[in-house]
Structure 1
Amino acid sequence: MTFTTRPELQGTYGMTASTHWIASAVGMKLLEAGGTASDAAVGMAFVLNVVEPHLNGPLGDMPALVWPAGAEAPTVYCGQGTAPAGATIAHYRAEGLEIVPGSGLLATVVPGAFDALMLMLRDHGRLSLREVMEPAIHYAAHGHPLLARVAAEIDQLAPVFRDEWPSSAPVWLPGGSVPQAGELFRNPDLAAYWTRLVDEAEAAEGREAQIEAARRTFYEGFVAEAIDDYLREACVIDATGGHRKGVLTGQDMAAWRASTEDALAADTHGARVFKCGPWTQGPVLIQALRILEDVPLGEMDPDGDAFVHHVVEALKLAFADREAYYGDPDFAEIPLETLLSSKYAQARLAQIGEEASLDQRPGALPGLEHLAQAFLERAARTVAPDAGIGTGEPTMAHLTNQDRDTVHIDVVDRWGNAVSATPSGGWLKSNPVIPGLGVPLNSRAQMFWLDEGLPSSLAPGRRPRTTLSPSMARMPDGTRLAFGTPGGDQQDQWQLAFLLRHLHHGHNLQEAIDAPLFHTAHLQASFFPRGTRPGHLAIEPAIGDETIARLRARGHRVEVTAPWAAGRLSAASRRPDGLLRAAATPRLMQAYAVGR
């Protein structure tokens, strides 16, 4: 039996898993109240806004996969807001920018998570708006034990809050002091904002009407007005060290709503895998799985150098294609049919040798050579030193490294419904707090490029190509699996290792989560300042000294991480006979699965 830190949970009533124990417990409470997986996931998302404010917020983003009982496939709920009407390349260039800052008002897009949550609640929930929001309002009003990581981040940012982002100081520095780890932390402005939103929504008659009223209140009522009022005058420092005004307006918010679309699907490695579209990095997982289809992974030691080498090299190729070809398909032709085909994957597999590649190698697609060349030119000018991704202005370094600021949710219920969702954005270091709302705007626009003619070029109304990447799969025995992790560019890397070990090596959910993880920063980073680290491979020491030595002998530039430092995976599943399972990572000592 493979070592695990916890048991894989099993039951028949319901399972919740998330990156914070309070959110997982709240999700179970909502299932116990007669709610569905969507009710639980929505309630969990609001609680995560409160208890992990360094990782997500109410004005952030969220893609989700919702798989109703009886449906053949999940549906994508797109809570990724779009660039404002004033977000043009010409405007940003006129501001003296060559890339979009990693924080500040020009890094903001329309907040999208809230509307996607409301659509999920309306379409697939049973509980009322108040029932799903009450737990989060309670923790915002009455307090929750502050995580040590939140306290440390507030301490690091305290000078910025006091001197540059004064609207943030009353929220994150109550009484003028840095809050201490473990003390009860409250956000009364957020509690008041959510209470008012629910109260206004309840002026409407009926559950669905109240949810629709909440959507209008957010995008056309007092929430949008508070954001519009603040941005009319605000001019604040960003990750470049410059002071700039934003371009988001109330009009931008009123014109946008969340949407749904079919999930991408691929039959691979005996499973049917479902992901969001190329406006996320989700297709990377399918591409890497395709490339590895003819590799005898099941014969390899899952902690051995051959397994790690092939997985990492496949990821390097898939991420090169991500950077060259992915973007919002509403604005650009994305060659997904080619990229996800077995024929293309076989050609890419032929590029994997026995030694580590140090080159960026996007696939050669006829008629799209200019996109591959543009990516190679970008990557060449953003190579970072081996010590790590560089930062901008030294005094603003704390506003640049944002590639792990995310949370994740997985839920299955007794009826067979399932949800996998990855809320993110609007974390406490992304932007100043909006007065009266108690929370900041997102910074997802940093994933656009300020170069013309790319699938991921900045343009009004376009979705940034986000890293957020929830996953689902139908396993060979018919089990429905929901899984995912925070981690920016690492999300699909850790998910790939998890899924392959689950499929090919018989690891149960907890075993696959606890197994040593690894990832590469060889790729073009999605977060400011967008660096690359050719040949880089980060790996947990539990993989073993022999494997590490062999990977170095293959030419990988290995960085051994601290123990238990990679990934925040969680998963939940439902077997055709009704048996439910769930698991969550022990890493960072926060994530938990709950179920019975």
Structure 2
Amino acid sequence: MFTTRPELAGTHGMVASTHWLASTAGMAVLEDGGNAFDAAVAAGFVLQVVEPHLNGPGGEVPAVFQAAHESQPRVLCGQGVAPAAATIDHYHRLGLELVPGSGLLAATVPGSWDGWLILLRDYGTKTLRDVLDRAIGYARNGFPLVPRIPDTIAAVVDLFNDHWPTSAALWLPGGRVPAEGSRFTNPVLADTWERLLAEAESAGPDRIAQIEAARRAWSHGFVAEEIDAFARTAFRDDSGRDHAGLLTGQDIAGWQASFEDALTVDFGEWTLVKCGAWTQGPVLAQQLRLLEGFADRLSYVDGVPTAETVHLAVECAKLAFADREAWYGDDPAVPLAQLVSRDYAAARRALVSDRASFELRPGSPDRRPPKLPAFAVPYFVPSEEISGALGEPTVGNSGVVRGDTVHIDVVDAAGNMISATPSGGWLQSSPAIPSLGFCLGTRAQMFTLEPHFASALKPGRRPRITLTPSMALHNGVPRMAFGTPGGDQQDQWQLCFWLAHTVGGLNLQESIDAPNWHSGAFPSSFFPRYWQPGELVVESRLGERTIGELRERGHLVTDAGPWTLGRMSAVSRDPSTGILRAAANPRGMQGYAVGR
């Protein structure tokens, strides 16, 4: 079938990401003798510069990976926790029923710096300067702005001018929105990184000692001090009022990134690898578990799924995401094993009919009665506020600030493989810290302010994030790493990719190019937590007949255009031949895969 670009194949290394500059930076590190983890870190830092509307140094990074010398996949948790002062009572005293989606009240401890550095320390081979130099170069000397960056700045220009003067100073050079394709610099960020490097290299020539010194310089040094001082100032947020932040230098000093066991769920010859229930990652496993019982009804014709396939996938997604709302969170009591079990899926599968459901129906794992947050009531919004031109919930038409992310997949000749989904610290989410050149994240908006939920706000707890990188093993051996930005849609677009690849028999690029879809029939993880029962957003390449049949089944279908949904990328390795492959998404015209 026709593809927008070739599926790459080679034997040395492959990097696929959401921006060509990050992919080439990662490949340069591979060419310089680095491994997949070195390359991922280098690409991750470049993405903080060239996609600042989608991630930044103040954000977070979860990843799933497997080192060639280890027998089991692991998870990198670079997701920071809620500050010590972030209690439900505090927000209620402010008259808030939801954590605002912007400003300083939604900040958690920044996790990306420590996350990338412990990955480099324990699994990489390069020095911090080796993996940071290219990002510093783009920040210092400039990079061309992709169209979505000035579009995002333009959408919040009044907020910057009226309430966030530090952001206006950084993102409105000369008082104007920068032009698409213009060369943009962030010398303050470059200075911040150079200062961290100087403190690292003052520890001597040892690579590990340098990395540890750089971690301390961030969490116990000048970065934490600057964040603490800045967070004490009140800024406007989504509540329509000015609030100071709760994050302190002590919060930053008391947290560090970590590694943990991955969630692995078997599907015949395949095993899906995801992060735990502090992310939405298990929801992909739940969707696939439900679809196991419909295997004989799933099919593709000429690379396009049938209406039956889309309908069943969407109805299973609704059930899985209802469970996400009721059960997921950073809590060891989450009944995760039961949620991804075959017995539980069999009972839930009986709820799927030939008609679209308009209900939010969580299940009862271990016979526990389900409960939904108060915001899980239908909140209808105009369809243009939902789909977005690129399927990215970044900034709505009314100026509501939302967030999105980036993605990286890397594999090398030795068999090291990683999938990472960095996010947070979006330029439009929080005011810029003028002494550092970046802003804080707003991931705490994903907490609920109702106690007794695993996703409830609690000091020291991770928010239940939408970030959800993926790997797949084939007969127990790492075979594929993949993922996409897209907020709540990430595990739905990944499902589209998985079905195209495993059911449709398409290669990586064909699977990414195949038409996508997603449902909005469950609460958004982003402020103001809206949802629309029955909503189904599709790419028009599904075909008029298929779209018509979906409408006949009761789905409220929005045709989002031919190439709008998802920003998937993927890499793979065939262990029998050593052949490496990679593919990236054409939608948005900036994702790219490189390799040889």
Q: TM-score when scaled to structure 2?
A: 0.95
Q: Per-residue deviation at 1:396?
A: 9.6
> Do the aligned residues in 1 keep the contact of 2:319 with 2:362 (CA within 8 Å)?
yes
Please give the secondary structure, in 2, of the residue aligned with 1:581: strand
Residue in 1 that maps onto 2:392: none
2:193 aligned partner = 194
- In structure 2, the partner of 1:525 is 524
1:346-378 superposed Cα distances (whole Å, 9 cap, x missing partner): 111111111111100100235631xx2334x43
Aligned to 1:323: 325
Q: Are residues 381 and 358 of structure 1, via their aligned partners in 2, closer, same or farther at CA, if it must alter by over 3 Å?
A: closer
Read off the aligned partner of 2:405 and give its amino acid letter: T
Q: Which runs of 5+ in 1 are unaligned?
A: none
Task: State the partner residue of 1:113.
Answer: 112
Look up the match of 1:379.
376
Within 5 Å, which residues of 2 pair with 1:547-566? 547-566=546-565
Q: CA deviation at 1:171?
A: 1.0
- Select between 249-258 and 171-180 the one with higher mean Cα deviation: 171-180
Task: Give the Cα–Cα distance (whole angstroms) in 1 for the partners of residues 31 and 366 of structure 2.
Answer: 55
1:537 is matched with which residue? 536
Match of 2:331, as an amino acid?
Answer: P
Asked if the contact 2:484/2:568 (under 8 Å) is kept, the reply is yes
In the other structure, the counterpart of 1:579 is 579
Aligned residues of 1:386 and 1:533 also touching (Cα < 8 A): no
CA change 1:387–1:190 in 2 (3 A) is: closer
Cα distance in 2 between the residues matched to 1:398 and 1:48: 27
Cα-to-partner distance string for 1:459-491 (whole Å, 9 max, x where unaligned): 100000000000000135955100000000000
Paired position in structure 2 for 1:122? 121
How far the C-alpha of 1:67 sits from its partner, in A, is 0.8
- The 8 Å contact of residues 269 and 289 in structure 1, kept in 2 or not, is answered as no
**Secondary structure in structure 1 of the residue aligned to 2:432:** coil
- Structure 1 segment 76-225 matched on structure 2, within 5 A: 76-205=75-204, 206-225=206-225
Q: 2:27 is matched with which residue?
A: 28
Which one is further off, 467-476 or 43-52? 467-476
Deviations 1:494-531 (A, max 9, x none): 00110121112210000000000000110111000001
The 1:477/1:396 distance shift into structure 2, 3 A limit, reads: closer
Which AA in structure 2 matches 1:164?
Answer: H
How far apart are the structure 2 equivalents of 1:549 and 1:229?
57
Amino acid at match of 1:329: D
- Determine the C-alpha separation between the residues in 1 that align with 2:397 and 2:382: 16
1:433 CA drift (Å) = 0.5
Shift of 1:162: 1.7
User: Given the alignment of the two structures, is residue 592 of structure 1 paired with residue 592 of structure 2, yes or no?
Assistant: yes
Distance 2:242 2:520 in 1: 30
Q: Which residue of 1 aligns with 2:230?
A: 230
Q: 1:223 to 1:558 in 2, by over 3 A?
A: same
**Equivalent residue, structure 1, for 2:494:** 495
Structure 1: distance between partners of 2:408 and 2:487:
15
Within 5 Å, give how 1:35-434 maps onto structure 2.
35-205=34-204, 206-232=206-232, 234-296=233-295, 300-301=299-300, 302-330=304-332, 333-365=333-365, 368-369=368-369, 372-375=370-373, 377-380=374-377, 382-384=379-381, 388=385, 400-403=400-403, 405-434=404-433
Letter in 2 for 1:498: F
**Cα distance, 1:226 vs. partner?**
0.6
2:467 corresponds in structure 1 to: 468
Aligned to 1:443: 442
Counterpart in 1 of 2:390?
Answer: none
Contact 2:378/2:531 (8 A) holds in 1: no
The runs of at least 4 consecutive aligned structure 1 residues that moved more than 6 Å come to none
Name the CA distance, whole Å, in 2 between partners of 1:329 and 1:574. 34
Q: How many residues align?
A: 584
Alignment partner, residue 452 of structure 2? 453
Q: TM-score, normalised by structure 1?
A: 0.95
CA contact under 8 A between 2:323 and 2:362: conserved in structure 1? Answer: yes
Structure 2, unaligned runs of 5 or more: 388-394
1: CA distance between counterparts of 2:588 and 2:164? Answer: 29
Mapped contact 1:63–1:77 kept (Cα < 8 A)? yes
Is residue 241–residue 396 contact of structure 1 (8 Å, CA) maintained in 2? no
Q: CA RMSD in A?
A: 1.7
